[in-house]
Amino acid sequence: PGAHDPRQDAKWALELALYEASIHPATTKPLKLLSFPKTIFLSEIPKGATAKELGAFFGHGTCAEVSFHLQSELGSWLGTTTVTFGSQAERDKAFNELPRFVRVYVGPLRDWAGRTDLAKMQAQLKEHFLKFGRVRSCRVMCPRAFPGQSALPFCLLECHPTAARVVLTNRQAQSFPGHRTLFKVSLAEAEANETRCAVPLSKNGSFLARLG
């Protein structure tokens, strides 16, 4: 072999570096979000509920066994499972026909203007509305006021359809000793393209149903 030429080595190294720099790095296509067009996911199932009991809500769907897990923050056991259908159309039809808790708007709560103790307000309202039937949740919100204006708190109540019917037609539901001024109760606007709902069980319990 001939004498080693360091200049030639440097030239080759430079050409190789320029070539590698000209190659665009390999890219991967964005991952598709997992989709389950034939499945309804169930969660927050109370302990004791069976796949047979849950399956009765879904007609032609196949309900898997319920898996229960201890919820440390709640100190209770809640389950999850899935219901599978033959087509997306069957799934959507079953979801739309589910009985569900009704959302009711309560407010404005004029007597509570300026209050910030939301937990206590929610407890007072829930205690009041429990007199009319099953209540799943009660959430008080205090909107932020624009400059020069006042904003009054209101509540979104989630209750059993039977309870909602009573609340919406009984004037006694529109005030109580903790809030003597009358407030309005009306059906809350449904969310567009709703993909989840709370379903009441025959006993005092419920579960969440969610589209995949």
Integer Cα distance of 49 and 80 in angstroms: 11
Say how many C-beta atoms besides its own lie within 10 A of residue 61's C-beta: 20
In this prediction, residue 204 carries a pLDDT of: 75
* Better pLDDT: 27 or 83: 83
pLDDT tens digits for range 57-96: 998 899 999 999 998 776 789 999 999 999 999 999 999 9
Q: Is the pTM of this model over 0.75?
A: no
Tokens of 36: 């389950």
C-alpha angle 46-47-53 in degrees, rounded to nearest 5: 75
Spatial contact of 156 and 162, defined as CB atoms under 8 Å apart: no
Cα→Cα distances 152→81, 97, 107, 117, 141, Å: 40, 35, 8, 14, 9
